Structure 1
Amino acid sequence: MRHRALPKALFALAVLYGSYALTGCQAAGRTGAETVAQGGGSVADAGSGYVATFLGRGACTGRGRPAFAEVDCGSEQAAASVLARYYGPRTGGPRCPESTDFVLHITAVDAGTSESDSVPEGYACMRNLRPPHPGDPGMGGGPLTVPGDCVYTERHGVVKEAACDGSGPHEPEFRVDRAVGSREDCPPATDLYVQVGGGAPVGCARRLS
């Protein structure tokens, strides 16, 4: 996930992880994607009017071939489950749950027959069924920045997540202690403001000793 400094057809799936920016307040945005293709079925969210047959909430996916095919959650192939499923682009859309490990982006599919056979653009918020869970606080990954996460300075004006226990390739420099409504709500000892999105969009981070 990258934070920027401020004054921060087929079902085509893209798996998004992360990177970040620094100084003042930072806007969160993830980079890096793995693209796969998945055929068949339509998808749905509550009240959408579409039939929930592909990657609806509670569904599971595998990690074999085809990549991220929907599988029975009780099978040995099941690797991740859908925490939430939304239509439309992720930018400006509903925020994924904080326990999300990665996001699957699904491109629009026009079946050419009826609305119920077509699939709009959307995204699924995914959680691994077994560790590791990069989206958990302090683990150094995941699509969201949450309280408990740590970051390091990649270059001037840009920071990225790092595992808080130092087990990753980069040493953590700051820890996000809390998320608040505005910079003024952060404690006086705050060293870095990170725009994390959601209902409390500003993360208050302190430098680690």
Structure 2
Amino acid sequence: MRVSGAVVACGGTLLVAALALTGCQKSPGSGSGPSGDTSPAGSAGTGSVFLGADECSSRGREAFTEVPCGSERAAARVIARHGGRVGDGPRCPGRTDFVLHISANRPSVDEDGDGAVPQGYACMRNLESPHPGDPGAGGGPRTVVGDCVYGAGRGQVRETACEGSGRRAPEYRVVAAVRSRDLCPAGTRLYVALGGGRPVGCAVRVQAPR
């Protein structure tokens, strides 16, 4: 799955890229997929880390700002937070709906007063549905067991909703994640690269919903 789009810092504002990616993998960490908007976030909140684990953000067309989780503006919660680039760090949990990439910056207000907010990324879960990261929902930054995919050409697949509400009908469903292809169950017709400790997704043909 290829993550594209640079993020930059301007003045005292953090810029983040929101990535609500569909599954599209041909090898661990590779492939292609659509990226979301690049949006500015407000200055760091009161926590020790900007958008740390279990903190919440607003979600607007132009900004993602750290807000109290009880606020009416809260739209998504951080379920995991890591430093560095997403391609170099731990993978987000399977139930992640989208990823916020946080640029390195030196804002006037930051999380610990040292004048710097380090580069990192936050794995986000919407506080309310929809949850594109759920198995079969057709989105999220990872392909997991229960997801449906269709052939996108050049040996790649992309996620789509299993119930048929996506732009493309499902062709295969990932029914198991295993260490090697020979461990896939009978009926497997497609192997999908998932990454992690069980990098092979075993997918079976599905009948397109009517």
- Report what 1:128 is aligned to: 126
| Equivalences, count | 194
Contact 2:82 2:120 in 1 (8 A): yes
Give the 4+ runs in structure 1 shifted more than 3 A: 25-31
**Residues 94-109 of structure 1 mapped to structure 2, 5 A cutoff:** 94-109=90-105
CA distance in 2, matches of 1:115, 1:86: 20
CA displacement 1:117-165 (0-9 Å, x = unmatched): 3122110000000000000000001101000000012234222111001
- Report what 2:5 is aligned to: none
Identity %: 53
Name structure 1 gaps, 5 residues minimum: 3-8, 44-50
Give the number of the structure whose residues are more often strand, by fraction.
1
AA aligned opposite 1:52: S
AA aligned opposite 2:15: A
Quick one: structure 1 residues 21 and 83, their matched pair in 2 at CA, closer, same or farther if it must change by over 3 Å?
closer
Q: CA RMSD in A?
A: 2.6
CA distance in 1, matches of 2:152, 2:171: 11
- Report what 1:38 is aligned to: 41
Quick one: structure 1 residues 91 and 107, their matched pair in 2 at CA, closer, same or farther if it must change by over 3 Å?
same
Contact 2:148 2:160 in 1 (8 A): yes
- Report what 1:48 is aligned to: none
- Report what 1:149 is aligned to: 147
Length-normalised TM-score, structure 1? 0.82
AA aligned opposite 1:40: S
CA distance in 1, matches of 2:73, 2:145: 32
Length-normalised TM-score, structure 2? 0.82
CA distance in 2, matches of 1:65, 1:201: 35
Name structure 2 gaps, 5 residues minimum: 3-8
CA distance in 1, matches of 2:98, 2:64: 12
Quick one: structure 1 residues 117 and 42, their matched pair in 2 at CA, closer, same or farther if it must change by over 3 Å?
farther
